[in-house]
């Protein structure tokens, strides 16, 4: 059984499409929980129209997406929980794909599927470490995650509820990358399974996506990965993979900051890299600071494969 958790904050424009995509699943969810995190638009009113179709709405004061997801996590009664952002959608076979993956990989605590990205009215397919239709336990989670940074996100992830509760759920008060921290914590303790089957659509052109924010400090995900450097108990494979993941997130995030004109955020990532003796990463970020923002914005189009899917 899979419960669905959707955190909602000022996504009235998209929430109906998200819910319709959940209700259209070929394998129905056990429960659908929308946690409104103090929206100031009419998103909760739209969700209320779905209550008679099995959607459960929780309202709380604005406390951030981690608190909203954790509220849903503790409310859910199913053994497994799938997450969906309020401005994304699932294709009809998403839950069926996850259920098949759970049946074939019961030891895992984190499951994910492939997805498409909708941006500027075009559709892209992220790069993946796996060929089409590949399914199974991931041999090296951190290296696979570093390849394209698209292995798992907050609209493709499904977790074993007890395992996520055990690691503390989603970290509260973290700016950027709170979901990545949760996935990494799970991967450090349990196997991770993936199906390279396209079952979700990440709507990057949606309103108030965090990609447009400016920051004065590195993303929380990078700070957490830096804390793992030199930590005892890690395998050699995990140590290498964490360093690679830190490098890739640092460079791609810094490039995004530069494209948005956020040099302060870029500098914060560089200083974090230097402070952790990741000098090659710091050098790459220094080079990014000299590349014209317009060129980086154009180059972004080539990070993923264009598709007609």
Given this model, what pLDDT does residue 217 score?
83
**Cβ distance 97 to 197 under 8 Å?**
yes
Q: What is the pTM of this model?
A: 0.93
Query: d(Cα 20, Cα 32) in Å, to the nearest integer?
Result: 11
| 133-153 residues labelled b (16+ CB within 10 A) or e (exposed) | eebeebebbbbbbbbbbbbbb
What is the pLDDT confidence band of residue 305, given thresholds at 50, 70 and 90? low
Query: d(Cα 245, Cα 146) in Å, to the nearest integer?
Result: 5
Tens-place pLDDT, residues 137-153: 999 999 999 998 999 99
Given this model, what pLDDT does residue 158 score?
98
Given this model, what pLDDT does residue 213 score?
53
DSSP 230-294: T-TT--HHHHHHHHHHHHHHHHHHHHHHHHTT-HHHHHHHHHHHHHTT-HHHHHHHHHHTTS-HH
What is the pLDDT confidence band of residue 214, given thresholds at 50, 70 and 90? low
Q: Mean pLDDT, to the nearest integer, of 185-205?
A: 96
Given this model, what pLDDT does residue 304 score?
56
Query: d(Cα 122, Cα 135) in Å, to the nearest integer?
Result: 27
CA 121 to each of CA 64, 81, 159, 205: distance values in angstroms, whole numbers, following the listed order:
29, 30, 31, 8
- Token representation of residue 248: 């890739």
| Whether residue 81 has pLDDT greater than 80 | yes
Percentage of the chain with pLDDT > 70?
A: 92
Point out which residues pair with 7 in neighbouring strands.
35
| 279-294 residues labelled b (16+ CB within 10 A) or e (exposed) | eebbebbeebeeeeee
Tens-place pLDDT, residues 227-278: 999 899 999 999 999 999 999 999 999 998 988 888 999 999 999 999 999 9
What is the pLDDT confidence band of residue 120, given thresholds at 50, 70 and 90? confident
**Cβ distance 35 to 6 under 8 Å?**
yes
Query: d(Cα 154, Cα 82) in Å, to the nearest integer?
Result: 9
């Amino acid at each position: 059984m899979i419960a669905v958790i959707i955190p909602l904050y000022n996504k009235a424009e998209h929430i109906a499409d998200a819910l319709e995509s959940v209700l259209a699943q070929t394998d129905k969810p056990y429960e659908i929980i929308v946690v409104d995190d103090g929206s100031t638009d009419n998103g909760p009113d739209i969700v209320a129209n779905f209550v008679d179709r099995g959607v459960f709405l929780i309202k709380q004061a604005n406390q951030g997406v981690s608190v909203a997801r954790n509220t849903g996590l503790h409310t859910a009664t199913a053994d497994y929980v799938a997450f969906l952002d309020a401005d994304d959608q699932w294709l009809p076979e998403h839950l069926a794909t996850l259920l098949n993956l759970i049946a074939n990989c019961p030891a895992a605590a984190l499951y994910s599927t492939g997805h498409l990205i909708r941006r500027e009215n075009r559709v892209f397919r992220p790069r993946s470490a796996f060929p089409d239709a590949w399914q199974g336990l991931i041999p090296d989670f951190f290296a696979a995650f570093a390849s394209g940074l698209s292995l798992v996100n907050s609209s493709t992830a499904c977790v074993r509820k007890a395992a996520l509760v055990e690691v503390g759920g989603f970290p509260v008060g973290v700016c950027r990358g709170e979901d990545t921290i949760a996935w990494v914590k799970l991967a450090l303790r349990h196997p991770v399974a993936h199906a390279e089957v396209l079952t979700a659509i990440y709507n990057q052109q949606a309103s108030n996506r965090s990609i447009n924010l400016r920051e004065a400090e590195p993303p929380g995900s990078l700070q957490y990965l830096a804390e793992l450097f030199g930590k005892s108990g890690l395998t050699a494979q995990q140590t290498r993979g964490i360093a690679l993941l830190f490098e890739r997130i640092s460079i791609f995030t810094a490039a995004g900051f530069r494209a948005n004109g956020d040099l302060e955020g870029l500098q914060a990532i560089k200083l974090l890299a230097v402070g952790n003796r990741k000098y090659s990463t710091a050098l790459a970020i220094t080079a990014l600071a000299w590349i014209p923002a317009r060129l980086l914005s154009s180059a972004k189009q080539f990070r993923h494969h264009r598709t007609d899917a």
